[in-house]
Amino acid sequence: MGPLAFVMTIMGCADGGSACIPARTVPIAYVSREACAAAQMQILADNSDLEFPVIQAECKTVAPRIARQESGGES
């Protein structure tokens, strides 16, 4: 398995930051948890259109996907 990447999930929460559910995943892969965390404030500002009393951002690790090569059937 190769190196991990980090993605940010935007969580929509009830008042007080409780009962959070995933609302969006930001389509950017970060190379480190620190890089992901550094982008959180801007990402939250960019996603302020969500209709929840509170929104939060959470950095999560993801393993890189391995592309499967399909045979085209051509020779």
Q: List, in sequence order, every residue forming a beta bridge with 71; answer none if it has no partner.
A: none
Establish if 74 belongs to a structural domain. Answer: no
H or E element, residue 32:
none
Give the Cα separation of 37 and 6 in Å (integer): 10
Give the Cα separation of 66 and 57 in Å (integer): 26
* Residue pLDDT, tens place only, 16-66: 777 899 999 998 889 999 999 999 999 999 999 999 999 999 999 887 665
Residues of the domain holding 10: 5-62
Establish if 72 belongs to a structural domain. Answer: no
The answer to pTM > 0.85 is: no
Establish if 68 belongs to a structural domain. Answer: no
Establish if 14 belongs to a structural domain. Answer: yes
Establish if 75 belongs to a structural domain. Answer: no
Structure tokens of 9?
Answer: 């999930």
User: For residue 61, which of 1, 21, 19 has the smallest C-alpha distance?
Assistant: 1
Domain count, the chain: 1
